[in-house]
Amino acid sequence: MPILRAFARPMVASIFILQGYDTLRRPERVAPAAEPVVRALTERVPVVPAKTEQAVRLNGAVQLAAGSLLALGRFPRLSALAIAATLVPTTLAGHRFWEDDEEKDQAQQRIHFLKNLSMFGGLLIAAADTEGSPSIAWRTRNAAKTARREASLVAKTAKTSGKAGAKAGMTSGQAGKAAAKARAKAAKAGAKAAKAGAKAATVSNLVTR
């Protein structure tokens, strides 16, 4: 797979590098077609330049820079996402097939529109490619699952320890009671033995007299 990516990324990026460089040098070539799209964008996105040629240049610069990074394999996911973002206004500006009156022109522009749509899908796949590493979403879900499992294990351990402590306490209490009873019995036996000794001593004195 690393070899496949090394060949596929420059292939995907090549058209955007060339197109971005050409647009950066000659924005007037596509500015008239891009004007309606730029006007609509400037109303919604303040960072987009109000002048059409400047906006077109900015779009071309992003395509050139991001395409070069993607071809070199540097920040490939971010680069693919940036190119995908520039492809939306580019497609809407250059391939509005629904506005063409001629059937032949409409069919041609529709093909270009669908080609750009296909490239957009490919760029989204490239942007989601983690190269075999777990994604951030997966790592977040896995961390949450691990935390829940550990919390459940701690709760079970605490519950088991509590039961064991209670049993030990009961056993200790029972042993204490048994020892107290044994001591009481021993004391009673000692008292009886003392009484018996006293009686025996009395009888012995009487006999001696």
Confidence of residue 172 (pLDDT cuts 50, 70, 90): low
For the segment 70-127, what is each residue's pLDDT rounded down to a tens digit? 999 999 999 999 999 999 999 999 888 988 888 888 999 999 999 999 999 999 999 9
- pTM greater than 0.75: no
What integer pLDDT is reported at residue 136 of this predicted model? 64
78-to-68, 115, 129, 209 alpha-carbon distances in Å: 12, 22, 11, 122
What integer pLDDT is reported at residue 114 of this predicted model? 95
Confidence of residue 206 (pLDDT cuts 50, 70, 90): low
